[in-house]
Structure 1
Amino acid sequence: MKKSVFARAVFAGVLLLSLPTAAHAATGDDYTPGVGGSVTLAGSDVSSVCENNVPWISYSVTLTDPDNQVTERDAHLVISDASHSTTIDLGDLGDDGQLSGRVLWPGASVAGDGSANGWPGFAKIDDTWVQTSDNFAWTRGDISAKVVVNPEVEVALSYPAGNCGPAVTGAPAGVSAESTLAVTGSNASTLPFLLGGGAVLLVGAGLFVYSRRRAH
């Protein structure tokens, strides 16, 4: 009887000692390195600047990926509003997970000498710059932006402050310069008739006064 009780006690002790080891083994088998939000784009940033009347977007992308989980390392900037979206290719991240540079604002363009010759929301018609709803005009309004690699991060971005655009000398959109000229020409052509009519009225008034005096 005493031997049976002793044997049971020894068995129970061995079983209790083996439970932590089994639990640790199970935890080790199920553990996957890197899972738990270790991949991030924290620290990435973009900004806008108007340089020599050219709107630019400067960017600095930082990928933190300690376990090398990200296989596609091309970075993009996505700009959106309530109705539109456009994606700008920024390039491939370096081996250190870094990428920086600048790109033209959507709708902007430069000539061979680097001078500005295009802006979002403007069109050149007959050598005259006019405002338009095309050519990424929406990017000058209320927009949101995010940097996308495999993770993504939202960033603050807006069109450069100040007058970063052409000198608008044309008629407003929807009003042609020809119609404005037509009105001006019409006024000029009626001027002789107005002068002639005024002269007739003066002569008539003079005759009326003269006849009144003779009557008295």
Structure 2
Amino acid sequence: MLHGLIAGAAMTLLAAGSLDEPYAPEQPVEPSLNASAVAVCIADAPWISYDVTLVDPDGLSTTRDVSLVFRKGVERYDLPLGALGGDDRLAGSVLCPGSAVDAQGTGAGWPGWRRVDGEWRDVGEDDLGWTRVGAHVTVEMNPAAAVAVAYPPSTPGCVPGPRLEPPSPRPDSVPTAGAAGAGLGPRALAATGIELAAPLLLGAGMLTGGLAFVTARRRPRL
């Protein structure tokens, strides 16, 4: 009987000890983003269409505000997109950095372009021009996700920049001569007239001499 009591006490101690053993707790899942973005040209304005979904099963994300962040070298530009909806998703469109539209929605300002004295001038990477080429773009809200966004190219129907007029010819310039002297200036026409008159006069003289020679050969002998 004594042996039975001792064995029972030992089993009880073993069971109690097993309850105190450490165990690995379940690790929380880090939040992530499913994001996409593409730049398109609409009515001569560069737009970015985006779609962002937060995957956060354990509620670890600390914010619901989403931004599109452009980086290039030491340059950085944050473009706010808005807050996630109740379904943890945000989708829409936003103008590219440094762009603007008029009341009709037509492009009226573009990154890297500046209006000076009534004319548009390409200022390179100034005025957010650096965002057009070579910028690294991410969607950020904690966490972040990289997206491939390139400034939209020009198409036959849409130009994501100012439509520049061809330069006007200088008043004192002389156009290139065309067929039959078309487009020639007065001096060019005068010079051409002199150059053309010389061979014409020479030809006329040769023709007259030829006729005289033929007439002389045909004159009957007396």
Which residue type is aligned with residue 101 of structure 2? V
Which residue type is aligned with residue 28 of structure 2? V
Other-structure match for 1:36: 29
Displacement, 1:100?
Answer: 0.8
Other-structure match for 2:127: 135
Stretches of structure 1 that go unaligned for 5 or more consecutive residues are 172-176, 189-216
Other-structure match for 1:167: 163
The TM-score, its normalising length taken from structure 1, stands at 0.67
Deviation track 1:61-103 (CA, whole Å, cap 9, x = no partner) reads 1012223333421111111111311001111111111111111
Which residue type is aligned with residue 74 of structure 1? D
After superposition, residues 48-197 of structure 1 pair within 5 angstroms as 48-133=39-124, 134-162=126-154, 163-169=159-165
Structure with the larger helix share: 1
The TM-score, its normalising length taken from structure 2, stands at 0.65
Distance 2:9 2:20 in 1: 16
Deviation track 1:121-178 (CA, whole Å, cap 9, x = no partner) reads 111223322210321110111111111112111111111123521233588xxxxx9x
Distance 1:167 1:10 in 2: 94
**Identity between Structure 1 and Structure 2 (%):** 33
The question of whether the paired residues in 2 share the 8 Å contact of 1:129 and 1:169 is answered with no
Other-structure match for 1:16: 14
User: Secondary structure at the residue paired with 2:131?
Assistant: helix
Q: Which has the larger radius of gyration?
A: 2
Which residue type is aligned with residue 61 of structure 1? V
Indicate the RMSD between aligned Cα atoms, in angstroms.
3.1
Which residue type is aligned with residue 67 of structure 1? D
Stretches of structure 2 that go unaligned for 5 or more consecutive residues are 175-222
Which residue type is aligned with residue 121 of structure 1? G
Displacement, 1:14?
Answer: 2.4
The question of whether the paired residues in 2 share the 8 Å contact of 1:129 and 1:170 is answered with no
Distance 1:170 1:84 in 2: 34
Moved beyond 6 Å, runs of 4+ = none
Which residue type is aligned with residue 153 of structure 1? A
Distance 2:163 2:153 in 1: 16
Displacement, 1:36?
Answer: 3.4
